[in-house]
Amino acid sequence: MKGFASILFCFVCVVQAATAQFAGWGTYDSTNSPLPSSFITSVAIDGDNVVWAGTNKGLASFRELLQWDVYTTANTNLPDNWISRVKTDPAGNVWVGTLNGVLARYNGNNTFTVFDASNSPLGAFCVTDFVFEGSTVWVSTEGGGVFRYNGSWSGYNSQSLGLPLDVALSAAIDGQDRKYFGTANEGVFRLSGNTWTRIYTLNTNLPYDNIRAITVENDTAIWFGIGQQVNDSCLTRYDGSQVTIFDSLTASGFPMRNIRHIYTDGSGNKWIASNNDEEGGLFLYNDTTFRVFREFASGLASNRVYESVMDDSSNLWVATFRGLSVFNENNQYLSEEGPASAAQFVKAWPNPATEELRFELPQNGSYTFDMLNATGSTLRSERLQAEGTVLLDIRNLQPGIYFMRFSGEEQRYLLRFVKM
The C-alpha atoms of residue 383 and residue 106 are separated, in whole angstroms, by 36
pTM of the predicted model, to two decimals? Answer: 0.79
Domain boundaries, the chain: 11-334, 347-419
Spell out the alpha helix ranges (H) of 192-266: none
Q: Give residue 205's pLDDT.
A: 61
pLDDT means over runs of 10, the chain (420 residues):
38 38 78 90 95 97 76 96 97 96 96 97 97 97 97 96 95 95 92 90 66 90 82 82 82 84 95 93 94 91 97 93 89 40 70 93 89 77 90 91 83 84
Q: Which CATH architecture has domain 347-419?
A: Sandwich (2.60)
Helical (H) or strand (E) element with 321: none
Q: Fold for 11-334, please state it.
A: Methylamine Dehydrogenase; Chain H (2.130.10)
Q: Give residue 12's pLDDT.
A: 35
215, HSE (Cβ side, Cα atoms, 13 Å) = 21
Q: In 3-state terms, what secondary structure has residue 376? A: coil
Q: Give residue 2's pLDDT.
A: 39
Q: Give residue 293's pLDDT.
A: 94
142, HSE (Cβ side, Cα atoms, 13 Å) = 17
The C-alpha atoms of residue 361 and residue 315 are separated, in whole angstroms, by 31
DSSP state of 398: P
Contact between 36 and 102 under an 8 Å Cβ cutoff? The reply is: no
Q: In 3-state terms, what secondary structure has residue 333? A: helix
Q: Give residue 412's pLDDT.
A: 78
